[in-house]
Structures are given as structure tokens and as C-alpha cells.
Amino acid sequence: MPDQSSSRDAQTTRRRVLREIWAQPGTSRVSIAQTLSLNKSTVTKIVTDLLEEEMIQ
């Protein structure tokens, strides 16, 4: 079970990814990962979730 700190970190990472997508429309997941120093699989998971939630297209 994730603690509050890791949950907060996950939400912060999610917000960073979303901001990057809004700032750079059409950017690739690889580019987001490089820009934010994140693992590509992390970005893919976040983007998949955002697509499912219809936060992005």
C-alpha cells in the first residue's frame, strides 16, 4: 500500500507530465521522459492514464 509521500510524488510527476504535454503539444513520450528526467515506461503509464481519463487526446 503506497504511503502518502509516494502518492504525493506520483501526483507531482503526473502534473509535470501534463504540464509538459500542454506546453509542447505533439511532443513525444521519449521527449517528455528526457526533458523531465523520467523513465520512458513511467511516462507511458501516465500518458495512458491521461488518455483513458480524457485529460488529453
- In whole numbers, what is the pLDDT of the chain averaged over residues? 95
Give how many domains the chain has, as a whole number.
1
The range of the structural domain enclosing residue 10 comes to: 4-52
Q: Name the grid cell of 13.
A: 510527476
Residue 12 has pLDDT above 90, yes or no: yes
Does 23 reside within a domain?
Answer: yes
Contact 35, 20 (CB under 8 A): yes
Rounded CA gap, 8 and 43, in Å? 16
pLDDT value, residue 27: 96
User: Is residue 35 pLDDT above 70, yes or no?
Assistant: yes
Specify the CATH number for the domain of residue 27: 1.10.10.10
Q: Is the pTM of this model over 0.75?
A: yes
Whether residue 57 is contained in a domain is answered as no
